[in-house]
Amino acid sequence: MSIIPTNLQAVQDHINATAHSVSRDPATIHLIAVSKTCSAQAIIEAAHAGQRAFGENYEQEAIDKMAQIQAIEPNLDLEWHYIGSIQSNKTRAIAKHFDWVHSVDRERIARRLSEQRPDNLPSLNICIQVNISNETTKSGLALEEARKLAHAVASLPKLKLRGLMAIPEPELNSEKQREPFRQLKQLFNQLNAEGLNMDTLSMGMTADMDAAIAEGATIVRIGTAIFGARDYHAK
């Protein structure tokens, strides 16, 4: 028996309880199962347990697994989120195979994704990755760059700007852990006040999802709590 369905249920229960504890509707928080380094079989097990959205960091690994899953279970309707760093020679494959990209951090990458998104597919959903940290002097610049990039993405024809994403440094103190998420939410509110129409705050992983949910996450990206510790040497 696989542990994956049990883990998934525990994560969903945890998200629901955390949402209630901060007076949020759990239905506004979407779970992405981060399946990097996991097998196609593990993804299928999670899908059978009701999980539809999966996050991947390495485009070739992801595309290989998509093909394997398609061969084993052609009727599974999964949603694929690219959350890894992006080299410009990988944009074509990402634009073709994914539904969302959470890690856009340069205008050049955004332009390529828009140009290379196949015509028969709907616009690619985009989150801007913001380099946010507790050192406010550093993140001030990052926030200004994110604003420029968000407006650029919003004007590209085959992209749909959905929101902002961040991966803050881990903090032991839970109050401190909330600070970068709060900053991201503030930027989100400011940009929407400038006319951008974003609906997504992609923030929170296994270790910091409670802080992220408390500060308004609409997507949490969870790997370890669902699939167990990753083994980077398995293949």
The contact set with ligand PLP (CB under 6 A) reads 34, 36, 57, 83, 167, 205-207, 221-224
Nearer to ligand PLP, 34 or 150 (CB): 34
The least distance separating ligand PLP from the CB of residue 221, rounded to whole angstroms, comes to 4
Nearer to ligand PLP, 85 or 190 (CB): 85
The least distance separating ligand PLP from the CB of residue 119, rounded to whole angstroms, comes to 29
Judged on CB neighbours under 10 Å (0-12, 13-18, 19+), 72 is exposed
Which residue's CB comes closest to ligand PLP?
A: 223
Nearer to ligand PLP, 73 or 79 (CB): 79
Alpha-carbon distance of 113 to 157, in angstroms, equals: 10
Contact criterion met (CB below 8 Å) for 193 and 186: no
Alpha-carbon distance of 78 to 66, in angstroms, equals: 9
Nearer to ligand PLP, 84 or 216 (CB): 84
The least distance separating ligand PLP from the CB of residue 223, rounded to whole angstroms, comes to 3
Q: What share of the chain is helix, strand, coil (3-state, %, to 5)?
A: 50, 15, 35
The least distance separating ligand PLP from the CB of residue 171, rounded to whole angstroms, comes to 14
Alpha-carbon distance of 59 to 56, in angstroms, equals: 7
